[in-house]
Chain A
Amino acid sequence: MLQLTAIEAGYRDLTVLRGIDLEVRAGEIVALIGPNGAGKTTLARTIAGLLPVRRGQIRLAGQSVERLPPWTRIRLGMAHAPEGRQVVAGLTVADNLRLGSYALRRQRNETWIGGRIAAVCELFPALRERMNDPAGNLSGGQQQMLAIARALMTEPRLLVLDEPSLGLAPALVADIFRLIERLRANGIAILLSEQNAQMTLAIADRAYVIETGSIALQGSGRELLGRPDIVERYLGIVADSTSANRRNSEDRHVQFVRGLATIFDA
Chain B
Amino acid sequence: MRASPLTMDQFAQILVGGVLQGSVFAIVALGISLVYRVTGIINLVQGGFCIIGALTLYSFASDFGWPLPIAFLAAIAATTALGLVLGAATFVPALSRLPTGSMLMLTVGLLTFIDGLALVVWGSQAYAVTAFSGEQPIDVFGILVPSQGLWIAAFACVIIIGIWLLMTRTALGKALTACAENPLAARFMGVDVARLTLFSFGLAALIGATGGAVVAPIMSLQFDAGSFFTNAGFIAVALGGMSSLPGAVAGGLFLGVAEQLAAGYVSSLFAGGLALALLLATLLFRPQGLFVSGGPRRRDVREELRVTRSVVRPRPSSVMLTAPALLLVLIALPYLVSSGFMSSLVIMLILFIAVLGLDANLGQAGFMALGGYTAAILATDYGVSPLLGTVAGIAISLLCALLLSAVTMRLRGAYLALATLAFGLLVDSLTVALTDVTGGPSGLVGIPAFALCSFVFASPRAMYYLTLAVVVVLIAALAGAMRSDFGRALQAIRADQTAAEALGISVLRYKMAAFAISAVLASLSGSLLAFDFHFLSPEMVATPRSFEMIAMLIVGGEGTLVGGLAGAALLTLLPIAFQPIALYKTLVEGAVLILAFQYLPDGIVGGIWRVVGRLGRTRRPGALAPETVAALDTPTQPQRQVVAKKTPALEAAGLAKRFGGLQAVADVSFAVPHGSITALIGPNGAGKTTVFNLITNLFPADRGEVRLYGRSLRGLTPGDIAALGLLRTFQTARVLPGMTTLENLLAGAHRQIRHGAAQNMLWLPSALREERSLRRHGEALLGLVGLGRFRDVAATTLPMGAQKLLEVCRALMARPQLLLLDEPAAGLNDAETAELAALLCAIRDFGLTILLVEHNMSLVMDVADQVIVLDLGQLLAHGTPRQIQGDRRVIEAYLGVEAKAS
A binding-site residues for B, Cβ under 8 Å: 11-14, 35-38, 45, 48, 50-51, 69-71, 73-75, 80, 82, 86-91, 95, 98-100, 102-103, 105, 136, 139-140, 150, 165-170, 195-196, 198-199, 211-212, 225-226, 228, 231-233, 235-239, 241-243, 245-246, 248-250, 252-253, 255-266
Chain B residues whose CB sits within 8 angstroms of the CB of A246 once the complex forms: 834, 862
Verify if B30 is at the interface (C-beta below 8 Å from A). Answer: no
* Pairwise interchain contact B827-A196, C-beta atoms closer than 8 A: no
Known contacts A212-B800, A237-B901, A239-B857; decide if A90 and B189 are in contact (CB<8 Å): no
Query: Which residue of B295, B796, B845, B885 is within 8 Å of A238 (Cβ)?
Result: B885
Chain A residues whose CB sits within 8 angstroms of the CB of B310 once the complex forms: 13
Interface 9-residue window, one of B120-128, B301-309, B352-360, B491-499: B301-309
* Pairwise interchain contact B781-A263, C-beta atoms closer than 8 A: yes
Verify if B878 is at the interface (C-beta below 8 Å from A). Answer: no
Chain B residues whose CB sits within 8 angstroms of the CB of A14 once the complex forms: 308, 796-797
* Pairwise interchain contact B174-A98, C-beta atoms closer than 8 A: yes
The total of interchain contacts (Cβ-Cβ below 8 angstroms) comes to: 232
**Most-contacted residue by chain B among A169, A255, A256 (CB, 10 A):** A256
Chain B residues whose CB sits within 8 angstroms of the CB of A169 once the complex forms: 662, 685, 872
Verify if B807 is at the interface (C-beta below 8 Å from A). Answer: no
Q: How large is the interface on B (under 10, 10 to 19, 20 to 34, 35 or more residues)?
A: 35 or more
* Pairwise interchain contact A37-B826, C-beta atoms closer than 8 A: yes
* Pairwise interchain contact B838-A253, C-beta atoms closer than 8 A: yes
Q: A89 CA to B181 CA in the complex, in Å? A: 8
* Pairwise interchain contact A242-B858, C-beta atoms closer than 8 A: yes
Query: Which residue of A51, A243, A256 is within 8 Å of B839 (Cβ)?
Result: A256
Verify if B653 is at the interface (C-beta below 8 Å from A). Answer: no
* Pairwise interchain contact B185-A71, C-beta atoms closer than 8 A: no
Verify if B187 is at the interface (C-beta below 8 Å from A). Answer: yes
Per-residue A-contact encoding for B449-487, CB less than 8 Å = 1, 0 else: 000000000000000000000000000000000000000
CB distance from A218 to the nearest CB of B (A): 18
Chain B residues whose CB sits within 8 angstroms of the CB of A98 once the complex forms: 171, 174
Verify if B184 is at the interface (C-beta below 8 Å from A). Answer: yes
| B777 to chain A: closest residue by CB | A263
CB distance from B78 to the nearest CB of A (A): 30
Verify if B710 is at the interface (C-beta below 8 Å from A). Answer: no
Chain A residues whose CB sits within 8 angstroms of the CB of B890 once the complex forms: 238
Q: A233 CA to B189 CA in the complex, in Å? A: 34
Known contacts A232-B857, A245-B834; decide if A212 and B902 are in contact (CB<8 Å): no
CB distance from B446 to the nearest CB of A (A): 56
Q: A80 CA to B837 CA in the complex, in Å? A: 39
* Pairwise interchain contact B308-A266, C-beta atoms closer than 8 A: no
Chain B residues whose CB sits within 8 angstroms of the CB of A90 once the complex forms: 177, 181, 295-296
| B310 to chain A: closest residue by CB | A13
Query: Which residue of B640, B831, B894 is within 8 Å of A236 (Cβ)?
Result: B894
Q: A264 CA to B784 CA in the complex, in Å? A: 12
* Pairwise interchain contact A12-B309, C-beta atoms closer than 8 A: yes
* Pairwise interchain contact A91-B174, C-beta atoms closer than 8 A: yes
Per-residue A-contact encoding for B267-278, CB less than 8 Å = 1, 0 else: 000000000000
* Pairwise interchain contact A140-B843, C-beta atoms closer than 8 A: no
Known contacts A212-B827, A259-B784; decide if A139 and B843 are in contact (CB<8 Å): no
Chain B residues whose CB sits within 8 angstroms of the CB of A236 once the complex forms: 681, 683, 855, 857, 894
* Pairwise interchain contact B777-A231, C-beta atoms closer than 8 A: no
Q: A89 CA to B189 CA in the complex, in Å? A: 15
CB distance from A137 to the nearest CB of B (A): 10
* Pairwise interchain contact B187-A261, C-beta atoms closer than 8 A: no
Verify if B896 is at the interface (C-beta below 8 Å from A). Answer: yes
Chain B residues whose CB sits within 8 angstroms of the CB of A249 once the complex forms: 834-835, 837-838, 862
* Pairwise interchain contact A233-B174, C-beta atoms closer than 8 A: no
* Pairwise interchain contact B797-A82, C-beta atoms closer than 8 A: no
**CB-CB nearest 8 A-B residue pairs:** A103-B190, A256-B842, A71-B190, A86-B185, A245-B834, A37-B800, A252-B838, A259-B784
Per-residue A-contact encoding for B156-193, CB less than 8 Å = 1, 0 else: 00000000000000010011011001101111111110
Chain B residues whose CB sits within 8 angstroms of the CB of A195 once the complex forms: 684
Known contacts A71-B192, A165-B684; decide if A248 and B178 are in contact (CB<8 Å): no
* Pairwise interchain contact A86-B305, C-beta atoms closer than 8 A: no
Query: Which residue of B732, B829, B857 is within 8 Å of A36 (Cβ)?
Result: B732
Verify if B7 is at the interface (C-beta below 8 Å from A). Answer: no
Q: A237 CA to B896 CA in the complex, in Å? A: 11
Known contacts A12-B308, A211-B829, A257-B842; decide if A262 and B660 are in contact (CB<8 Å): no
* Pairwise interchain contact A241-B188, C-beta atoms closer than 8 A: no
